[in-house]
Amino acid sequence: MTTDSGRFDGYGVLVTGGARGIGAATARRLAREGARVLVADRDAAEAGRHAATLREQGGTAEGVGCDVADRASVEAAVARAVDAFGSLDVLVNNAAHCTPDGARFEDGEDEDWAADLDVTLVGAYRCCRAALPHLAASGRGAVVSIGSVNGLQHFGNHAYSAAKAGLMSLTRTLAGHAGPRGVRVNLVAPGTVRTRAWEGRDDDLEAMRRVYPLRRVGEPEDIAAAVAFLASRDAAWITGHTLVVDGGITAVNSGFLHALSGPPED
C-alpha cells in the first residue's frame, strides 16, 4: 500500500472490529488516504498484526485490544487514539455479533439476543458515548457505523437484524443531537459481503451471487469505499443517512421474479 496524500491527512481514526473483513478493509482504505488509524479488535494480537501490516505498507497505524461490550475497554481505546494521534476525528463502528437462528423462533434464548444486541447496538452506543466529546472538539468529527440490509428487510437472524435496525435508528437520533456540535453521523448498510463468516460456504455464495442484480456478492473493499466517502468532507452536508451498498438486492424482489420466470440467468 502506497499512502495517498488525500482526504484524511492528519485525521485520527478508530475502527472497531478492525482486524478482519470489513473493518480491516476500512482501516486499510483510510490509512491509504492519509489517516492515522487505531485498529481496535477483541483479538488484540490480530489487531496488532493488521496495524503492523498497514505500517509496512506505508500507513500510520496502531493496534489495540478492545471489547465493545465493556465500557472501560471502549474508553481506554478512545483514550489511546487521542493520545497516539492528538485527536479523534472519525469513529467507525464495525464490531458486531450474530447468533444463528434456531429452527423455531420460540426456542430462542435470552442470552443469544442479549449477546447480539450488546455488541452490535449497545457496543456502538458505548463507542459513540466515549468518542463524541473528542469528535466534537476536532471540528470535523464523523461517525460511520456498519449496519446491514438485515435492518431493512427479512434476511434471517432475528436478534442481529433487530440490532442493526436499532443502529439505524441510533444513527438518526444521534445525528440530530450531534449535528449542532459539528459531528456527522451516518451508516452503511451492506448486503452479502465475502468475509470470514462465509469461509467454507462457496456454494452458498455462488447461489446468492446469482440473485444479486450485479451478479456478484460484495467485497470488503466495496464497503470501505462507502465508509471513506461518508467519513470525508466530500459528505460534509450528509448526516443521519443510511447508505445502502448491496448490489441492488433490496431494490429487486428476486424471489418473486424467480417464481414468475425461473432461476436468474448469468
Grid cell, residue 12, equals: 485520527
Nearest to 209 by CA among 246, 243, 161: 246
Q: Is the dihedral of CA 197, 45, 67, 107 positive or negative?
A: positive
Q: Which amino acid is at 140?
A: R
The full DSSP string for 2-39 is PPPP-TTTT-EEEEETTTSHHHHHHHHHHHHTT-EEEE
Catalytic (active site) residue 11:
no
Instruction: State the catalytic residue, choosing from 11, 125, 160, 212.
Output: 160
- For the stretch 209-213, contacts whose Cβ atoms lie closer than 8 Å and that sit 24 or more positions apart, written own/partner, are 210/263, 210/264, 210/266, 211/249, 211/254, 211/258, 211/264, 212/246, 212/247, 212/248, 212/249, 212/254, 213/247, 213/248, 213/249, 213/251, 213/252
The full DSSP string for 137-169 is HHSS-EEEEE--GGGTS--S-HHHHHHHHHHHH
Catalytic residues: 160
